[in-house]
Amino acid sequence: MPRFDTLHPAWMVWEVPAPAPRGVVLEQTQELNKFLAEIERRAFRMAQVALRDPDDALDVVQDAMLKLARNYASRPSAEWRPLFYRILENGIRDLQRRRTVRNKFMVWLPRPKDDPDNEAVDPLDSVADGGPDAPELMMRDQAMQKLEGSLRALPARQREAFMLRNFEGLDVAETAQAMGCSEGSVKTHYSRAVHSLRAQLGEVW
């Protein structure tokens, strides 16, 4: 009578792909590193705008980088950008869903901001002091906060379309690929987003 763990050990083993030529792998790795270095900060800020929490944003970006590298590194580098943002947006959506569920069913758990171990962030800490541009920096900071608030108020798809097109500079086709929708939908979402933002920020700006 064979033992249970000797019946089919195959499912317990990580699958290892066929090795690629060494030179190809090195070149691919360098290119991937360059690509991720180029987008990582913008991706983080976009995630932070959507999620508010910097730790959550960092987790989502890290996860997206890992998934892209593991699953799509061998794809042509031109495809990486929309693929990466698609993974990122899915991650953001998943996290928001989890938050919703957590808030519904586990309201007694302390949220990160309610955690007494986390010190409250003083907004004055983020303001540069002593420099000649301090007032201008403060104004920019306030304008950015206003913009972030308006972006968060948008429906998710409109926010995605606006950030991918305007902040990340993706064209309509790439944005459609990243969002998993048609180019016509991208145009509609983007147009509505601009309209809403103009209604909210137009007077201030």
Partner 1 sequence: MQENTQDAVDSALESRSRALFQDSVDGLDFALRSRLTQARHVAVGAAGTPVRARWLGMPWWQPAAGVAAAALLGVALWFGPHSGTLTANHAVTADGQTNLEDLDMVASSDTGSGDALEMLQDDLDFYDFADKAANAGPAA
Rule CB under 8 A: which residues touch partner 1?
A: 8, 10-17, 20, 25, 28-29, 32-33, 36-37, 40-42, 44-45, 54, 58, 61-62, 65-66, 68-71, 73-74, 140, 143-144, 147, 166-167, 194, 197-198, 201-202, 205
Structure tokens at 166: 């305007």
What is the rounded CA–CA span in Å between residue 100 and residue 194?
27
User: Which of 37/107 has CB closer to partner 1?
Assistant: 37
In angstroms, what is the minimal distance from the CB of 185 to partner 1? 19
Polymer length in residues for the chain:
205
Task: Using the minimum distance from each CB to partner 1, give the nearer residue, 65 or 186.
Answer: 65
Instruction: State the nearest-atom distance from the C-beta of 160 to partner 1, in Å.
Output: 14
Nearer to partner 1, 109 or 199 (CB): 199
Contacts of 22-29 with CB under 8 Å at 24 or more apart are 28/73, 28/74, 29/73
Cβ 43 to partner 1 shortest distance, Å: 9
Q: Are 205 and 143 in contact (CB under 8 A)?
A: yes
CB of 129 to partner 1, least distance (A): 14
| Residue 173 vs 205, nearer CB to partner 1 | 205
Burial class, 108, CB count within 10 angstroms (exposed 0-12 / middle 13-18 / buried 19+): exposed
DSSP symbol at 4: G
